[in-house]
Amino acid sequence: MESPKQQSTSQTNYSSWNDTGPATKHSYAPPSTLSNSPSRSKRRAAEATEDYSLETDEERTHDQHEDIDDFDDEELATVHHKQRYAPLSTAFVIVQVIILPLMMWQCGVAPLEINPMIGPYPDALNYWGAKNAVLIIDDGELYRLITPIFLHAGLIHLAGNVLVQIDSGNRWEKEWGSLIWIIVYIGSAIGSSVLSVIAMPDQISVGSSGSIMGLFGAKFAEIIVLMCEKGTTVRELAAEQSRKEQACHVIFGIIIVMAMSFIPYVDWAAHLGGLVAGFAIGIVCFSFTMRNKFGTVFWLGVGVASCFVLYSTFIAIMFTTETDDEMRDVCAYYQQFFEGYECKCQLDEDWAANSNYAWLASYYNGQEGGGGADDGEG
């Protein structure tokens, strides 16, 4: 039991200090009210925030590493994903798997000496939208810069690309989000076709491997752009760890896909063009994910300049490339090299003439409007 004097001394001593130093008279509050004071709670919260802000990045990262250890390997592999599913990558695979059997059903299966990939005749690929330089440059069929990604030379070619896209393509769409994924995929498709037109104007080519190479290029760009970024949250640390593990995977994948460049109707230029285009686009996309503002500005400038130089230069060269007029009629072109080559992928004129689609047959035969479409798609 304190005496009145002792209580007075105790109160006086307490009143001489507040939370941050010597107290003034107006900051005094009786001990009985301090513990429940709302302002006291706010000051404690402020102190906790200030104390945390004094921690170094290394200390916070260490704390996060302790948290990341709470995740098992399966959770850690997906904690940095932006979305659970990969709808676009899956949709492209489904379309690609459907189109090849349709081509083979409509146009027949070529002998192995013509197409060792177990697939349709070359004129069928052209009919369905393969890259054909003369039709792109001279006839303005620019859609052929994109449509080759839906086509494949045969079952072996399709299986190889689909397996890679289901694995890497789906995973990276989950990591990046569908928007970045589709920008890289389509942008790389255009880049691959443009370089293919420049380097191999006298050949038709198909395949999604140019876009797949673009995904690998974009992943490589992500690794380079974010290599100096240090994660401070579990999600960032998981993404950082994933990039380190995937670096070797990316290099190995590039080697494998480049090795497929020598498959008939698939060209090395498309693979190289897709890889370079994907890398340039990836620099632009992933510069926005950096926390460092200077790094964002720097890499964004590098990426935009690279994309501008790459596409403007390649497209300008493409439209000055000399083309082979014989490639207008792909069927007749290949009949020169293969005895007994059959041109099966054409509209059935008798069927079309006796149906409501007679106008379509007329259009393709060049009988409507003074010539209609080019006859090279036979």
Which of the residues 168, 193, 271, 306 is marked catalytic? Answer: 271
Q: Which residue has the tokens 């014989």?
A: 326
Instruction: Give the residue from 165, 153, 174 showing the smallest Cα distance to 216.
Output: 165
Question: What distance in Å separates the CA atoms of residue 216 and residue 275, rounded to the nearest whole number?
Answer: 7
Q: How far is CA 69 from the centre of its chain?
A: 30
Q: Which residue has the tokens 């709670």?
A: 41
Question: What distance in Å separates the CA atoms of residue 27 and residue 173, rounded to the nearest whole number?
Answer: 57
Q: Alpha helices, DSSP H only, in 200-292?
A: 209-225, 234-259, 268-287
Rounded to 5°, angle at Cα 89 from 88 and 94: 95
Produce one character per residue of 331-353: b if its CB has 16 or more CB atoms within 10 Å, e if not. Answer: bebbeeeeeebebebbbeeeebe
The yes-or-no answer on residue 26 being catalytic is no
Are the C-beta atoms of residues 151 and 128 closer than 8 Å to each other? Answer: yes
Are the C-beta atoms of residues 137 and 319 closer than 8 Å to each other? Answer: yes
The yes-or-no answer on residue 209 being catalytic is yes
Rounded to 5°, angle at Cα 158 from 143 and 178: 60
Q: How many CA atoms lie within 13 A of 280 on its CB side?
A: 19
Which of the residues 168, 208, 209, 242 is marked catalytic? Answer: 209
- The tokens describing 96, both together, are 């690609």
Question: What distance in Å separates the CA atoms of residue 252 and residue 254, rounded to the nearest whole number?
Answer: 5
Active site residues: 209, 271
